[in-house]
Amino acid sequence: MDLSPLPDPSDFLTVTEFCAKLRISKDTFYKWRQIPGAAPVAHKLPNGSLRISATDFNAWLTTLRSEAA
């Protein structure tokens, strides 16, 4: 039995919040989700809406870093 603490709901972004942070459209977000690794992991709630954890968002951003030429 897993007794790990439940995540704080405030640590999750809605798709709208995620898109606003990156200044992208929801269409872009959903296109990225079709490409493996192009979008952060999203958790699907029972009502069908998606949430992105702050931890997953930051980890995903880290993978996008590149050295400036």
Q: Per-residue pLDDT tens for 18-29?
A: 999 999 999 999
Give the pLDDT confidence score for residue 67 in this predicted structure. Answer: 62
Backbone angles phi, psi at 3, to 5 degrees: -110, 20
Element (H, E) at 40: none
Give the pLDDT confidence score for residue 69 in this predicted structure. Answer: 52
DSSP code string of 43-56:
EEPTTS-EEEEHHH
Nearest to 42 by CA among 5, 16, 6: 16
Between CA 69 and CA 42 the distance in angstroms is 32
Residue 68 — left, alpha, or beta (φ > 0 → left; ψ -120 to 50 → alpha)? beta
Instruction: For residues 2-11, give the mean pLDDT.
Output: 72
